[in-house]
Homo-oligomer: A and B are copies of this chain.
Amino acid sequence: MRRDIFHAIADPTRRAIIVLIALQAMTPNALAEHFNTSRQAVSKHIKILTECELVKQEQQGREIYYSLEIQKMKEIDKWIEQFRKIWETRFNQLDIVLSNIKKQKK
């Protein structure tokens, strides 16, 4: 079983769950209402997110409120960082090219 954050965000339902609980803690039942699936299916997704340490839970009576461990999302950002460096560099190079064209026109 691959259980990393990239696997976690691969599924569209899980991405939607992540977005929802990023704003406020929610119960599995409340989450399930947003999708065309059963509560159990949502529970399975939450289990995967938990295994990736992407969610924290708070029990209130018989209800369990899940919310996003937002710090964990930085891991994706960290991976993207290497590409951001590349596209920013290329943009700057384009900038230099355009600047040179401008100079030649003068």
- Taking CB atoms and an 8 Å cut-off, the chain A residues in 1-54 that contact chain B are 2, 4, 6-7, 9-10, 12, 15, 19, 22
CB contact under 8 A between A70 and B86, given known A10-B7, A10-B10, A12-B2: yes
CB contact under 8 A between A82 and B22, given known A76-B76, A87-B70: yes
A74 to chain B, nearest CB (A): 7
**A22: B residues at CB distance < 8 A:** 82-83, 86
How many of chain A's residues have a CB under 8 angstroms from any CB in B? 25
Interchain Cβ contacts under 8 Å between A and B, 12 examples: A6-B10, A6-B15, A7-B10, A9-B10, A22-B86, A68-B83, A70-B83, A70-B87, A70-B90, A73-B87, A77-B83, A80-B80
**A70: B residues at CB distance < 8 A:** 83, 86-87, 90
Q: Is A84 in contact with B77, judged by CB distance below 8 angstroms?
A: yes
**A60: B residues at CB distance < 8 A:** none
Q: List 6 additional contacts besides A70-B86, A77-B80, A77-B83; criterion CB under 8 Å.
A: A2-B12, A4-B12, A19-B82, A70-B83, A70-B90, A74-B87
